[in-house]
Amino acid sequence: MANVAVVGAQWGDEGKGKIVDWLSNRADMVVRFQGGHNAGHTLVVDGKVYKLALLPSGVVQGKPSIIGNGVVVDPWHLVGEIEKIEAQGVAISPEVLIVADNACLILPIHPALDVAREAAASAPGARIGTTGRGIGPAYEDKVGRRAIRVCDLANAEDLKVKIDRLRAHHDPLRQGLGLDPIDPDALLAQLLEIAPKILPYVQPAWRVLDQAIKGGKRVLFEGAQGAFLDVDHGTYPYVTSSNTVAGQAAAGSGIGPRGVGYVLGIVKAYTTRVGEGPFACELFDEVGEHLSTVGREVGVNTGRARRCGWFDAVLVRQSVAINGIDGIALTKLDVLDGLKTLKICIGYRIDGEIVDYLPSSLKAQAAAEPVFEEMEGWSESTASARSFRDLNANAVKYVRRIEELIGAPVALLSTSPERDDTIMMRDPFLG
């Protein structure tokens, strides 16, 4: 049995929540390894909808679930999310939830800075399109070696020293943006008040994982966002502030790279993205409206409408390479039901030249024009299909063509938001 890392292979919102929830039936432990509460994962179980942002999807099934060191943790949001999910009948205890002691915190100063900087970016194209949750500023403090970490909540004297260090960096920034200086006493009081609600869940996550893997437990690593929001490999600067690719599963959890195992890329049967940035296949016609409406393409946490377009095989093929994807989970195939003609992007035309990858240059990305291949659509419903034999011939051809173009097999096929409407063509835990 192999461990499995689940990563988004496009720009996020590919349906990772459902797939992770479905796979967690076969896993012994689920780990979040990057991002923050800007990730929205929707799970539908027996008609009941659970919306998670920071909690790993495994908690819904009572599986031991870890928030790894690669995640930035808003402790107030975490407590609120725990209370919300418990109100839906899901028990969250220290036996179910573990928070890495070396994870960094998102503080109230971070979203305030996030929002102020976006508001100040008035030049065309200057805004990144952040969620305003403070994710970026928190990661900046982490790499600047001034962050407050989860373990610091246990020591008031450590907190005082670290708050002073934060003030030395943040107060000049805040002044330039018209914000008041940090109130150190107020921030300390907030942290000391929230600490008893967080500390019961805190452990050395790397040690828990090491023991689990040595004991033969199957671990599911849950990514957030998507490969092309990766701070290194994405459409920079219109990216998130962490590494979202599969390689981060090891560093963001505290295990060696060989422990990650099978890499499953989640891929929507078309393409969406939220926020600013280049999007070669974006549609502004009735097909785009169909994808948006039928696919219910609205951000789980932000409520922002997602931009929609045809499937981009160039983008996903590149994602297969940078993530080391072994197989994909293809989601939302049923959204394409009723479209007479389908298009797949097989290349980009940039300054008159055809290229088969997405360049790093922002200028080249913005100039990329999609080169499409057309396929015949289908009128039959694929919704709720639970066997590959239930799919019509054109839907099968579409799936097979995607496999050919991206260079990876379909391991799972999702045909509705419901957990059980999933066709398993290859079990990722068997490698």
Could you give the CA distance from residue 401 to residue 134 in angstroms, rounded to a whole number?
A: 40
Question: Closest Cα partner for 424 from 117, 5, 25, 99?
Answer: 25
DSSP state of 232: T
Could you give the CA distance from residue 414 to residue 301 in angstroms, rounded to a whole number?
A: 22
Half-sphere exposure of 132 (CA within 13 A, CB side): 11
Cβ neighbours for 7, distance < 8 A, ≥ 6 positions apart: 16, 223, 226, 227, 244, 245, 246, 249, 263, 264, 265, 266, 323, 325
Q: For the purposes of burial, counting CB atoms within 10 Å of the CB of 353, is it exposed (0-12), middle (13-18) or buried (19 or more)?
A: exposed
DSSP SS3 for 342: strand
CB burial of 394-419 (b: ≥16 within 10 Å; e: otherwise) equals bbeebbebbeebbebebbbbbbbbbb
Alpha helices (H) along 199-247: 205-214
| Ramachandran class of 87: left when φ > 0, alpha when ψ lies in -120 to 50, beta otherwise | alpha
Half-sphere exposure of 382 (CA within 13 A, CB side): 32
User: DSSP of 276-289, one letter per residue?
Assistant: SS--TTB--SHHHH
Question: Closest Cα partner for 411 from 217, 225, 262, 227?
Answer: 262
Could you give the CA distance from residue 104 to residue 99 in angstroms, rounded to a whole number?
A: 11
**Which residues are identified as catalytic?**
13, 41
| Ramachandran class of 404: left when φ > 0, alpha when ψ lies in -120 to 50, beta otherwise | alpha
Question: Closest Cα partner for 377 from 314, 247, 287?
Answer: 287
Which residues does residue 104 pair with via DSSP β-bridges, in sequence order? 72, 149
- Identify the residue whose tokens are 């499937």: 311
Could you give the CA distance from residue 1 to residue 261 in angstroms, rounded to a whole number?
A: 9
